[in-house]
Structure 1
């Protein structure tokens, strides 16, 4: 609906939609009530008129014409049935009450049976509009016509009064309905206030996670926010660990070089220069390793990754960094396939696995992307010397992060395992078909849907 601005306010949007709908439905119900009331009143009057004509016919057949004259002259019929009637037996005519005589006697001239609706509400006649039922029959060889009539102006006045009271009651119900809608909206949006307070607690440091009792519609949002907080915490932890490792590895050679350079009594002979150069090369390799891992991680772009595109970008980058080795991608996935994984996390997994495989491979590294039902599978293997099977159980543990100081398969595997477990998956090691190490990472699609 273009006339509803869904980006302005939930409360305003709901009121804009619900209030006119409630008013329109209540007005429609009032119109339908009027139509049904008129129809029911008309059916009721028609049934009563037919019953009373049947009564008069029965009286005529049981008592004869003389008793009908007594009924017409008295108040019996009017008191019992509250309707006017007229009877013609041969050339004799009888009617009651007298006010209806002028109106009903012309109807006795017609021998047809059925309902007659006559009158004009705009006239000055005493009976402006009426409904009558006329029945023609033969009694003892003489023609008889019976007419029973109802003054519709009185009935319509009663209908209008009832319809007016219905409008008043409908108005009261509408006000109560609007109050109920307003209260329902206010109570429903109360959880938004609790969510806002929870975010303020996160901002002030009073809490570390969103623990808000909210409706089911807000639970996916809360889970996504908590997952984002977990991701940020893990990245911060990894950054601090990497910084601590880098500081520890660089501190010693830097101190040694500084001592040598500050010692004015020691001459820089060729051997000493070579040692200093070697120390600086170690520092440069360590910094380059951390910078390369930072490039692999890539920017965060939301929880929707294109695995084929990201794998191709990483393989191209590795091919440029190490032109002597071959990096290949094998997959049956379409280029626009999306996985419910955050781009940063997928880049972290692919980058760490390819970095390890590339360092240990002799010539080739192959990455395979596949899907098996609800499982997302990433397989990386190389043609390097591989790892002894007894050491598979130690790969990927936090203690193996010390291997970052020396190139090897331990680089980043602990981080990769942590990300994999967060997505409801696992990481397995085996011997590859090319002779090197094969690492298989499995992620759960359902865990992230």
Structure 2
């Protein structure tokens, strides 16, 4: 058995969800209207009957209990428009007379208040009545008074009113459908502007999506623009890498070519070493540019496990430097994720830990810290440290990256490049153990999203 699929249209899905709710609420309101109408009508009739019984009691007391003196034709019936019955000793008065089979049994009962009679089946009398009975004494003579209302006629009037209410409800449902359709159409207008912006982007008329969108669409627009920025950065990095590589290898290749084309000089050991040096330079430049091309930068949906990667790197470096201790300090869980591409995080941790391992005396400590605003990577060692006057030069590109030279400068330019792509910051500080402390701070994407929404105009 296959379940029905949701419609592909947002408008269709909203109509399917909202229309049954609206119709259900309208039907519930109609049902509640019927119940309340019946309850209010009964309370109103009962209140009137009680007032008329009080009036009859007053008239009987004024006549000193002489019921016969109240027989003035159809006076009470014309005044009250209700049937009534009066019993005093052996005297009984019922008006109109066809109601006598319904009201006389009520005169013989005890108790006071409202009494209902349903499905009586008396010829000439209504089947459903509501009566109000009261007993009192006048000069020691017990008197019972009953006033009754034909509920069948009232119920017919209520049914007619309820039917009109149903007709109005159907009209309101049609208006509700039109209102929902109009509201959905107006709510989806930003989607049309977003589609138009995407068409302009595809046609090359614009390079970014610049539309005023509702709060729900702002993360989508921001992520699309970030994707476009990432693609532009990658294209720019590729072009820069090709330009750098072309510029860097041109001189070594020209020198090797000159040596090979110079037939007057024998290819002795010194020339071989010179050619090998040139080839090593070319290999270094190729490796550096290839590593830099692998850096992804911020990408939607990409994440890494910082604790797992840190432990793997610490284990490997512990085998590479067996005489030194590598420690991890963090409160993050093993399965916790960071929104950083795995290769980028591996380059940051690997370069920083390798530098610290080379220059430390006995111990290297890695700390992973996360708050709502940022993520931090702190690497400190107990080595000789870096002088204050040159600590600010760490990671600068005065020279192209040379990853075979030992020291704290190894790979730091790569770290700085990756961190900048995540809009982060890298600081070099004197360590608490006397060595160097490198503190990498990367802002959290959740915090950036909240800040962007707060700063959005309008």
Q: Distance between the aligned counterparts of 1:337 and 1:377, measured in 2? A: 14
SS at match of 1:428: strand
SS at match of 1:216: coil
SS at match of 2:333: coil
Task: Give TM-score, length-normalised by structure 1.
Answer: 0.83
Q: How far did 1:177 drift? A: 2.0
CA contact (8 A) 1:354 1:380 kept: yes
- Aligned equivalent of 1:49: 49
Q: 1:271 to 1:303 in 2, by over 3 A?
A: closer
Instruction: Report 1:256-405 matches (<5 A).
Output: 256-264=255-263, 266-293=265-292, 302-314=301-313, 328-332=326-330, 333-343=332-342, 345-354=344-353, 361=359, 366=364, 368-371=366-369, 373-374=371-372, 375-381=374-380, 387-396=386-395, 400=397, 402-404=399-401
Instruction: Report 1:2-81 matches (<5 A).
Output: 8-64=8-64, 69=68, 72-81=71-80
CA contact (8 A) 1:382 1:437 kept: yes
Q: Distance between the aligned counterparts of 2:422 and 2:297, measured in 1? A: 19
Q: Distance between the aligned counterparts of 2:129 and 2:11, measured in 1? A: 53
Q: 1:364 to 1:122 in 2, by over 3 A?
A: farther
RMSD: 3.7
Q: 1:382 to 1:229 in 2, by over 3 A?
A: farther
- Aligned equivalent of 2:452: none
Q: Which moved more, 1:379-388 or 1:196-205?
A: 379-388
- Structure 1: which 5+ runs fail to align? none
CA contact (8 A) 2:223 2:300 kept: no
SS at match of 2:212: coil
Instruction: Report 1:82-97 matches (<5 A).
Output: 82-97=81-96
Instruction: Report 1:97-116 matches (<5 A).
Output: 97-110=96-109, 112-116=111-115
Q: How far did 1:242 drift? A: 2.9
Q: 1:299 to 1:316 in 2, by over 3 A?
A: farther
- Structure 2: which 5+ runs fail to align? 450-458
Q: 1:101-155: per-residue Cα shift (whole Å, max 9, x none)? A: 4543443344543333224177764422211122222223333221111001100
Q: Distance between the aligned counterparts of 1:267 and 1:442, measured in 2? A: 56
Q: 1:247 to 1:315 in 2, by over 3 A?
A: farther
Q: Distance between the aligned counterparts of 1:310 and 1:424, measured in 2? A: 22
CA contact (8 A) 1:301 1:342 kept: no
Greater fraction of residues in helix: 1
Q: 1:333-392: per-residue Cα shift (whole Å, max 9, x none)? A: 43223234444543453355456657x648888461322644422123567775442233
CA contact (8 A) 1:431 1:438 kept: yes
CA contact (8 A) 1:368 1:379 kept: yes
SS at match of 2:390: helix
Task: Give TM-score, length-normalised by structure 2.
Answer: 0.81
Q: 1:88-113: per-residue Cα shift (whole Å, max 9, x none)? A: 23333323334434543443344543
Q: How far did 1:316 drift? A: 6.5
Q: How far did 1:174 drift? A: 2.0
Q: 1:308 to 1:249 in 2, by over 3 A?
A: same
Q: 1:158 to 1:442 in 2, by over 3 A?
A: same
Instruction: Report 1:135-150 matches (<5 A).
Output: 135-150=134-149
Verify: 1:210 aligned to 2:209, yes or no.
yes
Q: How far did 1:311 drift? A: 3.0
- What is the count of residue pairs matched by the alignment? 443
CA contact (8 A) 1:308 1:369 kept: no
Q: How far did 1:20 drift? A: 1.4
Q: Distance between the aligned counterparts of 1:201 and 1:84, measured in 2? A: 83
